[in-house]
Structure 1
Amino acid sequence: MKKTFILFFVAILSGFAQNTSNTVSLNVKIANRFSDTITVSSGRTFKQKVGINKNGVFQTTFEASKDGGFYRLNDGNEGTTLFLKNGYDLTVTLDTKDFDETLVYKGKGANENNYLAQKALSDEKFEMELEPLFDADEATFKAALSKKKANDISMIDGKGFDQSLVTMLRPSFEQEEKFLLEYYTQKVAAKKMEGIASPTFEYENHKGGKTKLEDLKDKYVYIDVWATWCGPCLAEIPHLKKVEEKYHGKNIEFISISVDVEKDYEKWKKMVTSKELGGIQLFADKNWTSDFIKAFGINSIPRFILIDPNGKVVKADAPRPSSVSLVELLDGLVK
């Protein structure tokens, strides 16, 4: 589940509308930077590339949200969420070797943004503590979520933060709780499928013809359920390629099943080719309503499934390619 919770939180924040007026000033100092350019963005409505100046500082001024809004600051693949409002004048310092841990804000708007940096660390710690709770009963899991929500509320109430920030954040705590409870339900359902015969599929193969699960008998099958529009899915592709390379020639097949809608069929075909995607690339017949997808209760992606050589489910919610636990799992099975 690595980063799932944090990514969900970012997705919630990016949905707030922007009302541009006046300007915000940012001065960003990055030790061990990844490049000479950073980006500042807000959903799909705003994106600015900022180059480094002769003093080694990324400096920019731009129109920001009049009532306050959430932005992303990225250096390469590393990034953080900021709360920016007209009139803010912020200096940001960080070291990419410990990106989140070293973030410090000074200037107008520093209190709000130092809080967001601490919340990101708190959420990451909670996510690590959360994993063992997926094996607990529902009452225990709900109690942990309630405790976290109460702590989140206590971190913003009465702290003197900009009221716009508080107003935007409070509904997100409820949404986070709902999201994690749904995720727990999905994990429990997936665990019940372990050891049983897997539902089958027969989907169009990118290379031609159709491929069904029975064609892969006597081998382990690692399945990636994804879509061309899914950012987290695309982020897993480089890791998936490395895993495929590691186990090349062994008794395992790597299958990617796209749940893109029919209108994105050509987009899927072109992306498989342009990104040189490996393994067996399949296109689900009815996207999210395909029988195989429904049988596994898949309502969010990416989702990974591991099936054994006898067609039985090993993991209905298997580790991601980016997780070290996947290699640990496969090393114990694949010969």
Structure 2
Amino acid sequence: MKNQLILIGILLTSATLLAQNPNEFMVTGSLKNITDAKASIEYNKIAVEITNGSFSARSEITEPTVARMFITDKRLMKTAKSGGYYPVKSMNIWLILYPGANIRVKGEISDFADAYAYDGGENDILAGLHQGLFPLLNASVNIDLRFDYEKDSMPPEVKAKLEKEKKVLDEKAQKLRLKFLEKSVSSMAGVWLLNDMVIRSQISMEEVDRLLKKVDKKYFSTSWYIGLSDRVKGYKSTQVGMVAPEIITRLTPDSTLFELKSMRGKFVIIDFWGTWCGPCIAGMPRMKEFRDKHAGKVLILGVAQDRSFEVWKKFIETHKLNWKNVFAGKGAEDWVLKYNVQGFPTKLLLSPEGVILYRFTGEEEGFYETIEKLINARL
């Protein structure tokens, strides 16, 4: 009875606060199978105290975002044998935050976060997806953990059986995502999931283009829809045989104006990279070697998506990257979206006329073998 009165008090307080500030959101929750724990909501790094399974948090927001709530509980961590952990969505509680949201979380904590957010609208739609998806993701990552911990002792027949089980789980998860999009793409959860799947290369751009046409215009202003629209445009305008979209920016190491068209007359390797990307950095010496081999014929343009402009600039100076570099900003200067880059590194070869001759994601010697042939064929 006491807990019920406390909960009623929290809900009444929430309603009063929301009425006072239209940009405020409230999150309250009641979780089973957990008593006291620390948690955090990644938006604004909001600290949350869970006491006897209950919690509440509030903050302000100006536009919709999807945020995870991470609970400090060893049961949720998919810890690898060598340290670190296997990231999986089912280890967190997911929330759609927006101005005026009054969100209620309920469920339980086991070896995954079997708890979901409800608000009578957008969060209920996301909860419907995750209730079916999370058990599949959790079972799949648990198999990964077995492979990790038992790789030296696991009998071949057991490994084969588990690989088959994992494949079935992953296929079910993908079918569930696609089925959800067919029904609910016109929702915050829908456009967010579609954007997430594009980033993870889990869906073709042709499908994205088709599904976007089903989205109601009230979601057009969300960052997810805007980003997806830019990606579709980028996909359509960066196919092999098309003239590469112009890049004009002052987001350069010395803030001078850069224009892609200034590199016309030479073959150009556009390298999408980041200081956080190990394979990108590991491949730079080979890229420089190729450029130097074709001195006077081949130029390099580095386009970075990074944590900050200063981190990127310092890296360029420290590692003496002696080719043109620009920073991918936001909006009109988000070249990663405008070129529909879904993985790093991604490299394009442009002809002296600015036409896209080849596109490749990854870091393999085969890229240079291919572009060598393409260049020689045009000399």
* TM-score normalised per structure 1: 0.48
Q: Which has the higher contact order (CA 8 A, sep 6+)?
A: 1
Q: Which protein is richer in strand relative to its size?
A: 1
* TM-score normalised per structure 2: 0.44
